[in-house]
């Protein structure tokens, strides 16, 4: 049965869908993908069971947006089975063939995704583990997108400069960065990211590949998410919009926090703002550290821990 709810401006999609599951029990975990949500629900009997919530929403429409969704129990072995292993592991033991089969399909899907990471495809984001030779000289360890790969040759596009280079037998020297359209997990691993940008990569491919890039205040580059196609791209942009809303809300509440009081009392507020803009704080520029050398004429006597001095 298809249901419909309305998502107001500033409301997160996962919160809206989790709210629609309250009649099933307490939602203790909710994982969102571009086509379905996966909810771990603690039932009144104390069991933690999974519910799959396939949904559709047009993020390009102004708020309030219509969200059409359904609710399927894992016991019915629903078609969508992309729940992460960490999600499945917190569920109570399976009680029927349907939920056991569904969890097995989630595990098999996870294995397939890991196997796919060992094959370089257009749009993949990789990290060079060491310097390698290319037709444009040596490439330093950094993040690159794969433009093409065939017969041992790979075209890498620098995410920092956008320049492409041809390399040979690079598979053993790169680490495939596991990215999906949801940047939340990577953001939790890289809390220093303060700026965001989106870059289209592998333009020679038939599909559209987009990479969401983050930068720390010091300028360090961090790939956060990857989208293939307009649906995944709209989902990725919606999620990063939600992040910006949450950060703005936390800034509004900063004045009354102990952290802000400490910064104000110690004259650090301006330095924090300057660092957030990627500038060197004036406080550090003016900081002078003096080291007084030991007087060479002063005799220091130490006879070990057993001495009386």
CATH value at residue 132: 2.30.30
pLDDT tier, 265 (very low <50, low <70, confident <90, very high otherwise):
confident
- pLDDT over 50 at 309, yes or no: no
Provide the residue range defining the domain that includes 141. 125-176
Dihedral Cα 62, 191, 83, 113, nearest 10 deg: 110
Cα–Cα dist 251/173, whole Å = 42
Question: Does residue 293 belong to any structural domain of this protein?
Answer: no
Question: Does residue 194 belong to any structural domain of this protein?
Answer: yes
If asked whether residues 36 and 108 sit together in one domain, one would say yes
pLDDT tier, 302 (very low <50, low <70, confident <90, very high otherwise):
very low
Question: Does residue 27 belong to any structural domain of this protein?
Answer: yes
Better-predicted residue by pLDDT, 113 or 221:
221
- pLDDT over 70 at 149, yes or no: yes
If asked whether residues 224 and 281 sit together in one domain, one would say no
For residue 245, what pLDDT is reported?
79
Count of domains in the chain? 4
- pLDDT over 70 at 93, yes or no: yes
**The domain boundary residue, chosen from 252, 270, 293:** 252
Cα–Cα dist 213/39, whole Å = 28
If asked whether residues 9 and 51 sit together in one domain, one would say yes
Question: Does residue 306 belong to any structural domain of this protein?
Answer: no
**The domain boundary residue, chosen from 154, 176, 198:** 176
Residue 88 tokens, joined = 């499945």
pLDDT tier, 268 (very low <50, low <70, confident <90, very high otherwise):
confident
For residue 293, what pLDDT is reported?
65
pLDDT tier, 260 (very low <50, low <70, confident <90, very high otherwise):
confident
If asked whether residues 260 and 247 sit together in one domain, one would say no
If asked whether residues 10 and 92 sit together in one domain, one would say yes
Average pLDDT, integer, range 125-136 = 91
Question: Does residue 131 belong to any structural domain of this protein?
Answer: yes
If asked whether residues 35 and 71 sit together in one domain, one would say yes
The mean predicted confidence, pLDDT, of the chain is 85
37: left (phi over 0), alpha (psi -120 to 50) or beta: beta
Question: Does residue 112 belong to any structural domain of this protein?
Answer: yes
If asked whether residues 104 and 10 sit together in one domain, one would say yes
Question: Does residue 303 belong to any structural domain of this protein?
Answer: no
Question: Could you check whether the bond before residue 64 is cis, i.e. omega within 30 degrees of 0?
Answer: yes
Question: Does residue 92 belong to any structural domain of this protein?
Answer: yes
- pLDDT over 80 at 304, yes or no: no
Better-predicted residue by pLDDT, 224 or 193:
224
- pLDDT over 60 at 299, yes or no: no
- pLDDT over 50 at 59, yes or no: yes
Cα–Cα nearest to 91, from 40, 53, 45, 27: 40
If asked whether residues 16 and 111 sit together in one domain, one would say yes
266: left (phi over 0), alpha (psi -120 to 50) or beta: alpha
If asked whether residues 156 and 208 sit together in one domain, one would say no
| Residues in CB range of 307: below 8 A, 6 or more apart | none
**The domain boundary residue, chosen from 96, 116, 136:** 116
Tens of pLDDT, residues 2-48 = 899 998 877 889 999 999 999 999 999 999 998 899 999 999 999 99
Q: Which residues of 88-123 are buried (b: 16+ CB within 10 A; e: fewer)?
A: beebeebeeeebeebbebbeebbeeeeeeeeebbbb
Share of the chain above pLDDT 90, in %: 50
- pLDDT over 60 at 58, yes or no: yes
Tens of pLDDT, residues 64-76 = 889 999 999 999 9
Average pLDDT, integer, range 155-175 = 90
For residue 298, what pLDDT is reported?
54
pTM metric for this prediction = 0.68
Share of the chain above pLDDT 70, in %: 86
């Amino acid at each position: 049965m298809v249901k419909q709810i309305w998502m107001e401006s500033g409301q997160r999609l996962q919160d809206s869908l989790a709210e629609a599951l309250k009649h099933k029990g307490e939602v203790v975990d909710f994982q969102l993908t571009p086509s379905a949500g996966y909810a771990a629900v603690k039932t009144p009997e104390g069991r933690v069971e999974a519910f799959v919530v396939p949904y559709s929403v047009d993020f390009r429409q102004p708020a309030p947006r219509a969200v059409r969704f359904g609710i399927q129990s894992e016991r019915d072995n629903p078609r969508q089975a992309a729940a992460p292993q960490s999600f499945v592991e917190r569920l109570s033991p399976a009680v029927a063939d349907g939920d056991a089969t569904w969890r097995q399909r989630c595990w098999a899907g996870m294995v397939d995704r890991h196997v796919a990471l060992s094959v370089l495809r257009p749009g993949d984001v990789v990290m060079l583990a060491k310097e390698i030779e290319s037709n444009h000289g040596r490439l330093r360890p950094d993040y690159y997108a794969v433009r093409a790969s065939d017969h041992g040759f790979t075209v890498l596009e620098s995410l920092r400069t956008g320049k492409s280079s041809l390399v040979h037998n690079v598979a053993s020297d790169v680490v495939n960065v596991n990215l999906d359209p949801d940047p939340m997990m990577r953001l939790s691993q890289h809390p220093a990211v303060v700026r965001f940008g989106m870059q289209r990569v592998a333009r020679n491919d038939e599909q559209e590949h987009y990479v969401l890039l983050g930068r720390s205040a010091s300028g360090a580059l961090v790939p956060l998410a990857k989208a293939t196609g307009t649906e995944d791209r709209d989902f990725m942009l919606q999620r990063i919009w939600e992040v910006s809303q949450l950060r703005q809300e936390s800034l509004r509440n900063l004045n009354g926090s102990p952290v802000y009081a400490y910064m104000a009392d110690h004259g650090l507020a301006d330095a924090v703002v300057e660092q957030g803009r990627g500038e060197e704080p004036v406080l550090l520029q003016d900081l002078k550290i003096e080291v007084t050398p030991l007087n060479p004429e002063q005799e220091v006597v130490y006879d070990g821990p057993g001495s009386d001095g």
